[in-house]
């Protein structure tokens, strides 16, 4: 069974994503900010981390991604999520927030809003790719 950590401060979204992963036989831990996420990463092992880049209270996704970056090869894959669109110019090219996430090692990224199933499919694709590389 895959273990997934979801760091999302929107409770409704977090529960929707959690349900989607649980329907696909994953064990899911949910937290609402970076401090909680870092504590879970210190205590448990995960097969995937999904992190919102910005949260209302506490540190956001960049703190989580920095921790994963420091973990090196032992870090699980990470999917960065954001609803922040940045500047108008960024909309035409790349999202600057997700570009920062990519530089810190995020394996995938996705812009809100999106269906929960899309997140699960992205995770399954990451795990399949990882299995081929092992």
Per-residue model confidence as pLDDT tens digits over 38-52: 999 999 999 999 999
Its pTM stands at 0.88
Does the structure show a pLDDT above 90 at 79? yes
Ordered DSSP codes for 78-95: EEEEE-----HHHHHS--
Mean pLDDT value of segment 71-98: 72
Nearest to 16 by CA among 111, 112, 117: 117
Residue 81, judged by CB atoms within 10 A of its CB (0-12, 13-18, 19+), counts as buried
Does the structure show a pLDDT above 60 at 93? no
- Both tokens of 118, joined, read 């899309």
Q: Which residue has the tokens 């299995």?
A: 131
Alpha-carbon distance of 116 to 121, in angstroms, equals 9
Average pLDDT, the chain: 87
Nearest to 45 by CA among 19, 68, 15: 68
Distances in whole angstroms, Cα of residue 88 to Cα of each of 85, 91, 93, 97, 112: 8, 5, 9, 13, 16
Pairing label, strands 108-111, 48-52: unpaired
């Amino acid at each position: 069974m895959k273990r997934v950590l979801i760091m999302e401060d929107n409770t409704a979204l977090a529960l929707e994503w959690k349900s989607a992963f649980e329907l696909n036989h994953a064990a899911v831990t949910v937290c609402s900010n970076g401090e909680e996420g870092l504590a879970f990463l210190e205590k448990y092992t995960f097969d995937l981390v999904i992190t919102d880049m910005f949260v209302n209270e506490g540190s956001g996704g960049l703190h989580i991604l920095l921790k994963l970056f420091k973990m090196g090869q032992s870090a699980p894959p990470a999917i960065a999520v954001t609803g922040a669109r940045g500047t108008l110019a960024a909309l035409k090219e790349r999202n600057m927030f997700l570009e920062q996430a990519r530089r810190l090692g995020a394996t995938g990224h996705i812009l809100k809003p999106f269906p929960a199933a899309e997140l699960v499919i992205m995770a399954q694709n990451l795990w399949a790719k990882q299995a081929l590389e092992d």
